[in-house]
Amino acid sequence: MIFTLAARELRSLFLSPLAWSIIAVVQIILSLLFMIALQDFLVTQQPRLHLYSMPLGVTDFVVVPLYNSASIVLMLVVPLITMRVISEERRSRSLALLFSAPLSMTEIVLGKYLGVVAFFFIMTFIYSLMPISLLLAGSIDLGLFFSILLGALLMVCAFAAIGVFMSSLTNQPTIAAISTFGALLLLWIINMAGNNPGGDDGHFNVLSYLSMLTHYESFSRGIINTADVAYYLLVIITFMVLSVRRLDSDRLQR
Amino acid sequence: MTTETLVKVEHLSRHYGPIVAVNSIAFEVRRGEVLGFLGPNGAGKSTSMQMLTGNLAPSAGRVEICGIDLLDNPKQAKAQIGYLPEQPPLYRELSVDEYLRFCARINRISKEKISAALATAKERCGLKDVGHRLIGNLSKGYQQRVGIAQAIIHMPAVIVLDEPTVGLDPIQIREIRTLIRDLGKEHAVILSTHILPEVQMTCDQVQIIHRGRLVYNDSMSNLNAQTRATSLVLGLQNPPAIHELQNLPLIQRVDDLGNNRWRLTHAVNQQPGAEIARIAAERGWGLCELAPEFKTLEQVFVDITSAEATSATVPVKEQAA
């Protein structure tokens, strides 16, 4: 049942020009960045590689920066896709269709969530074809590649969860978009507040722990840390539960 | 016709903050019945409909659909409900077929049966020729039909229609009313409307809700009995002086309607028509019109709701019902 809802969501996304244009824009920007990084690597970095004591390669110079840029671009793009997921239906009053069907709130929220996540997976797959294409000309560090791919996917799942929750709060898609963007940016830069001088004295730094960036960094170094995976899963579960509660409260006493 | 009770509502109430939108209503609907839910704007019709279909949680009370409690087992109960809200819940970017297929899936119709269910629903709602068209490009009337198709696609025991004929042309309205009558044969149908002739034509049972309270609940035939004639319209070519009309037997009041026509009011259960015709002929008044006037359902409705209005003190939320 969840998959029926997800399939409908995905289909509706691709029936609107928004999804296509977003994929196109993201792809153009990322391929430009990819080409610049590749050019830079071939012209400047590669001849000097033997000078480094630590062996770095094309993956570190081209692939990792690509995914880093992608996560910034996605921070801007995720709100645009998730904004209408629930708010638009509330606005056009088509939520009644789902509410009066034999579906639980959890199924409705998860269905919608999986629909947008599927969209972002498709987008990630498309721009991941660029680093994969490097295999035609040489080899890349596949371990690092899969690690950062996993990081990127987890991050976009977390972004989408926040976006779906924001969309469940309002019936104005633009408000959902701007609050999602605000929340994502805040979670991204919150570690700045945590990086106070003398903060590295072994104290557990809550603010920098909350930052998405902190947890993303280890993936970009090729480390899949269960703590970081757990962080993203926790974000996803938290915002899913909140969305279910929010939708439930639509029916309840106000 | 079986008399199995499909909908049972007990003490259903809903508050919006301090405002009581629906105040302890109770009723039952049996299989094979069409229940008309009447009420002025803001009376709580839509709120009641939403509570019946699980779109809104009641503040107090119980709803049982086919013996299943809607609040305890929402999934099982909702499988037995088809609901058309005031505004049909459509996905404008999908085609009619895609949309109805999706509705069939979320109402848990098994895959093999979907095509048959789709064909039946389209047939019944006159959508056979528009299956491939996008819902957003259809006219309001067709969108309304898609909304109805959506409500009946899983053959629910209970069908709840909130103002189903809004925005339809007269021919479509007739078709939809016939459809509602047909559906009423096998299902229990709850129909909310403020179009009174619609109720007269389609419903077996009538309920009037006013300021959140049920103020009237009776069968259609009893309501029709209340619309008995209490006046006659008389048209004369050679009218006599007005006092002659006033002196006619059984007549209590005479109102001049202009153009040599008068309204003669008499007491309930009296038939002065024959006597008046005889007198008019005898005196050579040139009788050209003599017709009993029936009290319209509208008047009965106004009588009931305005009588309540003076006694009721419950505040009502001003919302479109």
For the sheet with B188-193, list strands across it. B81-84, B158-162, B188-193, B34-38, B205-210, B213-219
CA distance B198 to chain A (A): 25
In three state form, how does the secondary structure of chain A look? CHHHHHHHHHHHHHHCHHHHHHHHHHHHHHHHHHHHHHHHHHHHHHHHHHHCCCCCCHHHHHHHHHHHHHHHHHHHHHHHHHCHHHHHHHHCCCHHHHHCCCCCHHHHHHHHHHHHHHHHHHHHHHHHHHHHHHHHCCCCCHHHHHHHHHHHHHHHHHHHHHHHHHHHHCCCHHHHHHHHHHHHHHHHHHHHHHCCCCCCCCCCCHHHHHCHHHHHHHHHCCCCCHHHHHHHHHHHHHHHHHHHHHHHHHHCCC
Interface check for A43 against chain B (CB to CB < 8 A): the answer is no
* Cross-strand pairs, B162: B192
Beta-carbon separation of B150 and A97 below 8 A: yes
Diameter of chain A measured on Cα atoms: 69
pLDDT tops 60 at residue A199: no
pLDDT the model gives residue B211: 84
- Among chain B residues, the shortest Cα distance to A252 is held by B57
Give A-chain residues touching B79 at CB under 8 angstroms. 102
List chain B residues with CB under 8 Å of A16. 93
Neighbouring C-beta atoms of residue B206, cutoff 10 Å:
25
- For residue B296, the model assigns a pLDDT of 67
Give the pLDDT of residue B321.
Answer: 36
CB contact under 8 A, B54 and A251: yes
Q: Which chain A residues contact residue B94 at CB under 8 A?
A: 8, 11-12, 15
Angle at CA of residue B114, ends B109 and B120, nearest 5°: 110
In the numeric block, the tokens 């209340």 are attached to: B226
Task: Tell me the C-alpha distance between A206 and A193, whole Å.
Answer: 10
| Top-confidence residue, B84 or A58 | B84
pTM given for the model? 0.83
* Contact (Cβ atoms closer than 8 angstroms) between residue B304 and residue B38: no
Please report how many Cα atoms fall inside a 13 Å half-sphere around the Cα of residue A140, on the Cβ side.
25
What gap in Å lies between CA A204 and CA A236, rounded to an integer? 23
Measure in Å the smallest separation between the Cα of A160 and chain B Cα atoms. Answer: 22
Mean pLDDT of chain A: 88
CA distance A9 to A116: 7
Q: Which residue has the tokens 């039946």?
A: B120
Q: What are the angstrom distances between the C-alpha of A190 and each of A145, A206, B25, B199?
A: 27, 10, 53, 62
Would strands B188-193 and B34-38 be described as parallel, antiparallel, or unpaired?
A: parallel
Give A118 to chain B, closest Cα distance, Å.
18
Residue B34 buriedness (CB in 10 A; 0-12 / 13-18 / 19+) = buried
d(CA B84, CA B182): 17
Token pair belonging to A154: 């987890």
Residue bearing tokens 């093999």: B112
Pairing of strands B68-69, B60-65: antiparallel
> Is residue A203 over pLDDT 70?
no
Structure tokens belonging to residue B312: 């009721």
Write the CB contacts of A137 (distance below 8 Å, at least 6 apart in sequence). Answer: none
The answer for B 88-117 residues in CB contact with A (under 8 A) is: 89-94, 98, 102-103, 105-108
Other beta carbons less than 10 A from residue A227's beta carbon: 9
Query: What local confidence, expressed as pLDDT, does residue B316 receive?
Result: 40
Tell me, what's the pLDDT at B18?
A: 86
**pLDDT at position B209:** 86
Q: Each residue of A97-122: pLDDT tens digit?
A: 999 899 999 999 999 999 999 999 99
Written as six digits, the tokens of A93 are 């009053």
Instruction: Tell me the pLDDT tens digit for each residue of A227-240.
Output: 999 999 999 999 99
Tell me the C-alpha distance between B291 and B233, whole Å.
Answer: 5
Asked if residues A151 and A43 have their Cβ atoms less than 8 Å apart, the reply is: no
pLDDT in single tens digits along all 321 residues of chain B: 456 888 899 889 988 888 888 888 888 888 888 998 888 877 888 888 989 898 888 888 889 998 899 888 888 999 999 999 988 999 999 999 999 999 999 998 998 999 999 999 998 888 889 989 999 999 888 898 899 999 999 999 999 999 888 777 888 888 888 888 888 888 899 998 877 778 888 888 888 888 888 888 888 777 776 666 677 888 888 888 888 888 887 787 888 888 888 888 877 677 778 888 888 888 888 888 888 776 666 677 777 777 655 554 444 434 433
Determine the average pLDDT of the residues in A60-76: 90
